[in-house]
Structure 1
Amino acid sequence: MRRARSRIAVAVLGAATALALLTPVTAHASAGPGYGWVGSWHAAMTTAASSGPSAEGFTDTTLRQVAHLSVGGDSLRVRLSNAYGTGPLTVSAVTVAPRRDSAAGTPAVDPGSLAPASFGGRKSVTIPAGADWVSDPVDITVPDDSDLVVSMHLPGPTGPATTHQAGYATSFTAPGEATTDTGEAFTRLDTARYFLSGVDVTARSRGSVVFFGDSITDGVVSTVDANLRYPDQVADRLLTRPDSRECGVLNSGISGNRLLTDAGSAGEPALARFERDVLSRPGVRSVVLLEGINDIGNSRGAVEPGELIAVYRQFLDRAHDEGLRVVGATLTPFEGAGYYTEEGEADRQAVNEWIRTSGEFDAVVDFDAVVRDPDDPGRIRPEYDPGDHLHPNDAGFAAMAGALDLRAVC
């Protein structure tokens, strides 16, 4: 069920890659493929922004959004979220359609490919404030590594929208009920996501892996509509396996997210969103945890490494209680970023040393070793630095994806 797609070649990493991985230690999830529901795509949701479409909400509007699937399947379910709504959310109609290869970055779909989603046998659904909702199965085949176009009509007014700000995928809007429109009625809205939090598929696979983190996991500064976030590029590697060994990839990154504190539209802290963004997804086998640099940077180094390590340990305990493996990822360089301090760099080094040597994770991926400048190890390699000295660019994300031992995650 694959389709070919060109990719930025994984950079030659030299000796850094040889040091980047530690051997997996222990398995906490059952082995072996099975047929059933598996998470194929996920967007971690937050409260509305202070201004813009998410703050204003929507009235008599159709949203058209695109989910880039990892594994495909022969049926699917759509997940909608009103987790941060201030009142009930009514969705009067939802349609799904595989997007044509030539239509990337556009709202266009083939009219014959549109399929309606239902909710308990009904066309519409009203989702209580604070809740998520899963559609009935939709009998439609979707390929691996493909785009699914999801359209939803919102009679509204919705009030502030549950959202994912850094979607890096173009969303579209049309007036009125346009869920079956082929695309002509839609205009570009922005690159955020609204209410759409996941897609599950039925497939024979080994399960799924959650990539949990902040803006680096979220794919900030990656090319819009190109699906070059590092979890996307790991998904491409996983799809080179035989079908029965494929794995879904779920991106649970939120730009600005922290381990220790609620940063508003940057999402709840890691443990507070563990249930929604990890455990609620079907087929999860493992979690790759890359988070903590925002705690260090925003505190200007005032956060003690032991405070972050305590959260990592809680995260490990909760994951292991559920039979999940956890891959610990070292924090990448940030010298030159706006919130860099020498105290913060000392904290980053201390946290990374614990991640590498504690033996508490099931496996470790040393992203620091992969993306740091060998001549100035507090900084990102120049060829991976888009200019903010914090987020890797598309090539940097390719290097990160290439460094992960696939056996450690799924």
Structure 2
Amino acid sequence: MSVEALLTRDYDANPGPVHERLRAEYGPVAPVDLLGVPVWFVTGYEEVLHVLQNKGGIWSKNVDRWRAHAEGSVPADWPLLPVFQVNNSAFAEGATQHKLRAAWTKALAPFQDHSQPQAQLLEQAIRQYADDLIGVLAEGGPTGWADLAAQYARPLPLMVANRLLGFTAARGEEVVMDIWRMIDAGPDAAAAFQRLYAAMTELATAKRQHPGDDLPSYMIAADPDLTLDELARELLMLPGLLDFTASLVCNVVVEVVSNPAMWETLSVGAIDETVNRAALLNPPMANLTFRFPMADVKLGNYTVAAGDPVMLSVAAAHADPRFAGALDQHAIRSTRAHLAWGAGPHACLGQRLATQITTIAVQRLFTRCAKLKPALPPDQLPWRPSPFMRALRSLPVQYELAASRVPAPADAGVPETRPAGGGEAAEQRSRSPLWSFLRGLRRGR
């Protein structure tokens, strides 16, 4: 059957009406064209949940199950191909997936269990990173304009990634920028993946020789049999998770400053509810990477052939009338049955970490700022064109700092992976390309 292109200018600006039209024409599963490749696009909540849960074991994420790819009919330069060729636990199945996710669970535990000293130190660090970023805004005076996406939401998780991975600040910046290039499926996505893989292999090698108090070292301790290739490919997932977190921070801020109900939940201290509502209303990971049925299967109004690519839309599922229509919009607490964190065997293992970063980022921002006013109406905000993420390209706001604001540190810099004093370490921080870039954004406004 003929299919229409999914990623149009209308879709980038506002995917909601496109989801509604596809649902009205095809039902909960629609045939679409994704950058020249035909895929099944799932917009129904029940159908998305059914595939995610994979109770019958029929759905695979392994790219080897993709019939068109195996037959050589997917162009070698298709911009999304590098995403599916990462070959880590996000795309694994069976015993391999269980082994890798077990290593993740053990390695993340010290950072996600608040009774552990690593988690307590990380929380302190996140708060300091947030205050340092807001401190750069404060250098321009108590009032002004800022792009919260570029100057706050995106660099904050970058700092956390540097700390967790044990990268130097400058190396971590390069890694996260390449993650953005790969996720956004730009023309240099393939080259970005090669650089990322090299960087993670280099890091994995270093941590085998000199373990530290960081995620790669904990993963090695959890499973000493991990090969360098396996470890490097697993580590590629962390900056992607934190880019998701940056988008969630932006989406929470947008909802709070434009939705009185969201502001009310924040003002009474229900920050966890504020974050949850934003994840429900505007999930950062709008569409998930492909699943492939290992046998012909009925899905929606169609029979999907074995090996056909199926793309699950979390954003469309949340707006499905069968799901959204049953929600109480006036309830004090919104449902936790949404799919922003996935479900089933590939559910996000870093949910607590991402939620913690988002919660602290939003808390510090609205504590330090007496006023935040969007510079653009919500329907005019610029979104990054991406097949997967629903992420703002910029979030311009007018701010007014609270009178009791914390002074900006005299030597603000991207925090190192370990505490650093003055002298050479301080000089390295002051020369950080990221910090210079952020100050340049402030001066350029």
Relative contact order, higher structure (CA 8 A, sep 6+): 2
Bigger Rg, which one = 2
TM-score (norm 2): 0.30
Could you say which structure has the higher strand fraction? 1
TM-score relative to the length of structure 1: 0.32
